[in-house]
Structure 1
């Protein structure tokens, strides 16, 4: 029985690898191609046949929305299942994509289960689910638990443990002020939920964040989205990335605050320009004292 063919489009190699590993672990034998932007994907769609497109929205050269619009103008691609994998969840963006003919959405950050649920729904609608799942393993959890790590290690690592609250960083002053507001604020979106955060330091490669510790600890290598809203015009940048390191912010194991190193994976020039302006204007807060 022939296997489904999927095209994964994202300018971030980490995200492409995460999606491809997830699909290959669950659908053995599935055929996957990838592209770094809409322009490269357009060339592949012109000369090859695919059963599903999983596409990022914000990419250089040609965005996901532009690729979707182009697909719906081509007779062979008018009904091609097209899932937008994006951090853009605003109502106006959703409406815009629906009007352009999108089939479904997967919001970043996503869990393997969330991604697979959308993919299986698309395959079912296209009558391809039986073929795609013909050799699917019986248990999902063991096959997918390590996708984030495999994406970075080429599949050599076998276990992803919850991120330890490792050696504490330098001692912070005792809580004496309220959590800063306004400048230096952000929102970190993980698959397990959303957390307010303070940007302690910022560069073009990574952000150093401080968040209040919750019941569920974030995990190293977990994919996430950092939302930054700054400036008089309330510009919002949705920066895709992953958690590179997690340590206790205070010198004790039960610290109420965690310090996260968030590595960016976007290659989008517009986002890099935005970050450059934030850094140039000194928007990032360099010193942070947790509030009560």
Structure 2
């Protein structure tokens, strides 16, 4: 029986299954429990101990940030590694989570390799990695900050550890100093595979023929501007320009939609349910992708309802128009 236990907290069954599959493939015998939201996780954390918490941000009843803040108030959970698995990669969100005591971030959408890298580092820092077996447990990166999503999120190189880390958050002061403008953290280009830069409505439109861009589809391999052809509470049908590598069915992704000019960007988590050529040609330049939502957050469902009511889709898209 594994001596290491992990709690996976996400309101989307697809994301929980994706995380569990990756962990079990790399760490045979690891013990995994799951919670559908922060409130359920809070109850579980009050009854048993976990070596690592992997948690979504946006969830009904109790958000990931609220759960994180609660954990850091508990004597038994103050130093438990808490990794946020989220599509909220904006600087202000990162600062907020770091100040609350987050250990690290995994940006959605994520690859199995990115997830395992973060889990390995978190368990290594806490000393629990030695209790695991499997390919990812046998070696850790020479640089513990290499490929760090906190650095990528803020566009900074790996900062030097703080001389006197605060007791409330022993994991993230180095990244906080970079976020708040520390001179010792020179700026570098963000890692595209880890964190996709958000594209404003104007830029997305410019990237799509005819100026009809309405959003962007973020994949582990990069960002694709897209045109929304159909929208329901279940899924979205979008058009994207063909790229290399080609998107894959069942690949996790995030769909960014902007509510009007200068409006708030909604980040909808999901996966690619179907992919087909938009034109009846084997070398079609455009692909029609069915993106199925996995979020159960009432706020996101309300946002989708308003978008559907406004009819903000392109029903008559002509490639190259």
Q: CA shift at 1:130, angstroms?
A: 2.0
Q: Which runs of 4+ in 1 moved over 3 A?
A: 135-139
CA displacement, residues 99-131 of structure 1 (integer Å, 9 cap, x when unaligned): 000000000000000000000000100111121
1:6-17, aligned counterparts within 5 Å? 6-17=6-17
In structure 1, distance between residues paired with 2:44 and 2:103 = 20
In structure 2, distance between residues paired with 1:59 and 1:284 = 27
Q: Which residue of 1 aligns with 2:273?
A: 244
Q: Which residue of 2 aligns with 1:92?
A: 92
In structure 2, distance between residues paired with 1:216 and 1:239 = 22
In structure 2, distance between residues paired with 1:180 and 1:187 = 16
**Are positions 1:189 and 2:229 aligned together?**
no
**Are positions 1:50 and 2:80 aligned together?**
no
Q: CA shift at 1:62, angstroms?
A: 0.3
User: Retained in 1: the 8 A contact 2:241–2:287?
Assistant: yes
Q: Which residue of 2 aligns with 1:156?
A: none
Q: Which residue of 1 aligns with 2:24?
A: 24
CA displacement, residues 117-165 of structure 1 (integer Å, 9 cap, x when unaligned): 0000001001111211x244899xxxxxxxxxxxxxxxxxxxxxxxxxx
In structure 1, distance between residues paired with 2:259 and 2:237 = 17
Change in Cα spacing, 1:2 to 1:261, as seen in structure 2 (3 Å) is: closer
- Unpaired runs of at least 5, structure 1: 140-177
In structure 1, distance between residues paired with 2:65 and 2:225 = 29
Q: CA shift at 1:231, angstroms?
A: 1.9
User: Retained in 2: the 8 A contact 1:3–1:131?
Assistant: yes
1:1-292, aligned counterparts within 5 Å? 2-132=2-132, 134-136=133-135, 179-181=209-211, 185-291=214-320
RMSD, aligned CA: 1.7
TM-score (norm 1): 0.83
Q: CA shift at 1:233, angstroms?
A: 4.9
Change in Cα spacing, 1:249 to 1:68, as seen in structure 2 (3 Å) is: same
The alignment partner of 1:77 has SS state of coil
In structure 2, distance between residues paired with 1:39 and 1:287 = 44
Change in Cα spacing, 1:211 to 1:220, as seen in structure 2 (3 Å) is: same
Q: CA shift at 1:28, angstroms?
A: 0.7
User: Retained in 2: the 8 A contact 1:189–1:226?
Assistant: yes
In structure 2, distance between residues paired with 1:226 and 1:72 = 31
Change in Cα spacing, 1:104 to 1:284, as seen in structure 2 (3 Å) is: same
In structure 2, distance between residues paired with 1:271 and 1:102 = 24
In structure 2, distance between residues paired with 1:254 and 1:234 = 36
Q: CA shift at 1:179, angstroms?
A: 2.0
In structure 2, distance between residues paired with 1:135 and 1:196 = 38
Q: CA shift at 1:283, angstroms?
A: 1.2
The alignment partner of 1:226 has SS state of strand
Q: CA shift at 1:223, angstroms?
A: 0.3
Change in Cα spacing, 1:137 to 1:110, as seen in structure 2 (3 Å) is: closer
Moved more, 282-291 or 203-212: 282-291
Q: CA shift at 1:282, angstroms?
A: 1.1
Q: CA shift at 1:263, angstroms?
A: 0.3
User: Matched residue pairs, number?
Assistant: 252
